């Protein structure tokens, strides 16, 4: 009796496990589709064969009703890894890459916040609309010569 109960329990667990595995497989792109996407990305962006490309799982797109979303990871080695988002049509015959810009934000504000000019020599009004930051290395003969040539003209 106990043996029969264990056999039935194991069979049911096996069926549940198979159903879970099939559900996970349905989310990943087929190997044929992944191979097509990889070939097109390599050809369009001229990516050499030694760069590793991984096609991520297909998910539904919230913004585009006739498209699904997927990410493509390009790994050039030595920590150079980039993720790119693509849209793929429901019929799997068309792929689109679009970049969404937030026009309410200043695109240079992030870069400007990383430049620290506090305590540095400066010329001109602090409230100027344009800020020019020059990085020189006076031990470099080219930078030193440029400074000797341009700085007297800037003072005029």
CA distance 50 to 11: 45
Given a contact cutoff of 8 angstroms between Cβ atoms, the answer to whether 99 and 85 are in contact is no
Give me 38's structure tokens: 């990889």
pLDDT score, position 26: 40
pLDDT score, position 115: 85
8 CB-near residues (< 8 Å, 6+ apart): none
pLDDT score, position 22: 58
pLDDT score, position 137: 83
Mean per-residue pLDDT pooled into runs of 10, the chain (156 residues): 77 72 56 91 90 91 88 86 91 89 89 84 83 81 86 78
Phi, psi dihedrals of residue 55, rounded to the nearest 5°:
-95, 120
Give me 62's structure tokens: 């919230």
Q: Say how many residues make up the chain.
A: 156
* DSSP SS3 for 147: helix
């Amino acid at each position: 009796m106990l043996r029969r109960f264990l056999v039935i329990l194991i069979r049911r667990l096996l069926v549940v496990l198979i159903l879970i595995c099939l559900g996970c497989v349905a989310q990943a792109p087929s190997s044929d589709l992944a191979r097509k996407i990889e070939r097109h990305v390599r050809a369009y962006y001229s990516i050499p064969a030694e760069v590793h490309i991984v096609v991520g799982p297909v998910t539904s797109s919230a913004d585009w009703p006739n498209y699904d979303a997927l990410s493509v990871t390009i790994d050039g080695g030595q920590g150079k890894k980039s993720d790119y988002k693509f849209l793929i049509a429901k019929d799997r015959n068309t792929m689109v890459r679009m970049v969404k810009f937030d026009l309410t934000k200043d695109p240079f504000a992030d870069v400007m916040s990383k430049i620290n000019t506090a305590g540095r020599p400066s010329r001109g009004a602090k409230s100027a609309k344009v800020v020019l930051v020059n990085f020189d290395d006076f031990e470099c003969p080219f930078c030193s010569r440029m400074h000797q040539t341009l700085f007297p003209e800037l003072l005029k």
